[in-house]
Structure 1
Amino acid sequence: MSPSSTRSERSARCPRCPRCGTAFDCGMQMTPGQCWCRALPPLPAERLDPKSRCLCPECLAAEIARAARGETGDERG
């Protein structure tokens, strides 16, 4: 993910990743339907928490890898 050189009046910066605390840019807020996360494989529905915020690119990639290995969400560390 590369930072955008131009931003709209409405900031696309997410508050913080709920897993690691890193601030990151959410592409869905800048251009709906065009977020960086759409290039990644989807998480299985049972791994999604509708009450949780988006994960940063690194944490989302790690969660996708855990899902691919068949690990439960309990191994986070």
Structure 2
Amino acid sequence: MKPSASRSKSSARCPRCGNAFDCAMHAQPSECWCREMPPLPADRLDPRSRCLCPECLAAEIAQAAQAGHGADLS
């Protein structure tokens, strides 16, 4: 059996780390877990990319926040 055959319809695979996670953006976008996280700046978004898992999205948000603080210090 293929690994994808056992995943639910809300399952996705993170393009960064490869981990499987539940994603509701295609089924019910207003109920996805990612809506409770801080938004990424527009320049960090790639509309061609797939959703990140919770861990990778949190890391990307942290990197964006650090980059923003560094810009304020100059």
Normalising by structure 2, we get a TM-score of 0.75
Structure showing the higher strand proportion among its residues: 2
Question: Which fold has the larger relative contact order, with Cα–Cα distance below 8 Å and residues 6 or more apart in sequence?
Answer: 2
User: Structure 1, residues 6-56: CA drift from partner, whole Å, max 9, x if none?
Assistant: xxxx71111x10100001110223423111000000000000000000000
Amino acid at match of 2:9: S
Letter in 1 for 2:16: R
Equivalent residue, structure 2, for 1:18: 15
User: Which structure has the larger Rg?
Assistant: 2
Structure 2: gaps (5+ residues): 1-7, 69-74
Identity %: 67
Find the counterpart in structure 2 of residue 49 from structure 1: 46
SS at match of 1:33: helix
Partner of 1:64: 61
Query: What corresponds to 2:72 in structure 1?
Result: none
Moved over 6 A (4+): none
Over the residues paired in the alignment, what is the CA RMSD in angstroms? 1.6
Q: TM-score, normalised by structure 1?
A: 0.72
**Candidates 25, 28, 32, aligned match of 1:31:** 28
Query: Unaligned regions of 5+ residues in structure 1, if any?
Result: 1-9, 72-77
